[in-house]
Amino acid sequence: MKLGAFMMPAHPRYRSLHDGHYHDLDTLRFFDRIGFEEAWIGEHYMMPGEPCPSPDLLIAQAFLQTERIKLAPGAFMLPFHHPAELAHRICWLDHISKGRLMVGIGASGTNLDLEMFDIDHKAGVHREMTAESIAIMIRFWKSEGPFEYKGKFWTVRRPEDQMAKSSGYHLKPFQSPHPPIGVTGLSASSATLRIAGKNGWIPISFCFTPEYLHTHWRVVEEGAEEGGHPAPSRDLWRVSRPIFVGPTDAEAWQLSVGGEMGRYFREDYLPMLAGNNALGLLKHHPDAPDSDVTVEYCAKHCWIVGSPETVRERIEEMQTLSGGFGVLHVMGFDHLDELETTRQSHAELARIVATHFA
């Protein structure tokens, strides 16, 4: 098992955009120093608690200030970008990184973002756009000559080169045929993770109720079979979860539930899920009433919080329930006001993974 991070990135609303951005950049440098394998950075528009609309700007800066860690947008929301332009931007990032880039893709589940771009999410248009967009980008990356792609949402072309006029298609990815692609899934038997298996992409599970993690890998395998691929290696599978390591169980509980991690769930994440009738995603049992799903409930059932020994045992439990996975992601939260304790938690988690699971 390797260790990585998934950063929304989340910030309290009083944090200025400037301070939040440079805190994220410093966090990526810190992850690189302590041996994190990778970090994925989210993209949102209409979410004040997750205010980053351009993960590639943060990633480009971080590539220049880190040495080993792999970085990825997590994810580019494809309906919001023209695929020809984004295909080129990804190529550019890949060359800046010399191959340390991975690419998360998504359709966006944030209704206000979709409404802002006038996309009919109720009819599933955003999912159709995502499928068409990635097909176009891969066509550009793999192309060896001119083509035209007439889709439902975009028409694009690779024109004939005119090198006598110093014009032509020239920007291919650093990695061949393109950077690794990843998608995320949250619900049991996630349809997006089936798509990951079908296309040979990286599956990333958001884990709040580990009892159904095994269904995630099952649909990845089923998707691979549908796509005519050999059974994928579990090393490819990423599992993301909120984790906090403290000196004792009691101290870890206080630092997480009583800190920024708890505030984010209390003021941002839980209201967002409740407003979308999606609190069931956090329930350890479907019969639990919505009123039970509090920050304390999440700390008990959804997060991994405790002493180093407790955290090790909970990770072992997650491995057993899932059948095993390749990369553990700690979900990253703003900790500018809790720098020392949170970074001690991250460093201790890195030690636990290296000592007991590597």
Q: Tell me the pLDDT tens digit for each residue of 222-268.
A: 999 999 999 999 999 999 999 999 999 999 999 999 999 999 999 99
Q: Is the pLDDT at 322 greater than 90, yes or no? A: yes
Q: Is the pLDDT at 212 greater than 90, yes or no? A: no
Between residues 211 and 53, the one the model is more confident about: 53
| pLDDT in the model for residue 194 | 97
Q: Is the pLDDT at 210 greater than 90, yes or no? A: no
Q: What tens digit of pLDDT does each residue of 260-299 get?
A: 999 999 999 999 999 989 999 999 988 999 999 999 999 9
| pLDDT in the model for residue 109 | 87
Q: Is the pLDDT at 197 greater than 90, yes or no? A: yes
Q: What tens digit of pLDDT does each residue of 323-338 get?
A: 999 999 999 999 999 9
| pLDDT in the model for residue 209 | 85
Instruction: Write the CA distances from 61 to 57, 98, 128, integer angstroms.
Output: 6, 14, 32
Q: What is the mean pLDDT of the chain?
A: 97
Q: Residues of the chain with pLDDT > 90: what percent? A: 96
Mean pLDDT of the 336-348 span: 98
Mean pLDDT of the 4-33 span: 98
Burial code (b: 16+ CB inside 10 Å, e: under 16) for 77-96 equals: bbbbbebbebbbebbebbeb
User: How are strands ordered across the β-sheet holding 202-206?
Assistant: 70-73, 38-41, 2-10, 327-333, 238-241, 202-206, 181-185, 103-106, 76-77
| pLDDT in the model for residue 163 | 93
| pLDDT in the model for residue 66 | 98
| pLDDT in the model for residue 326 | 98
Q: Name the amino acid, one letter, at 135.
A: A
| pLDDT in the model for residue 294 | 98
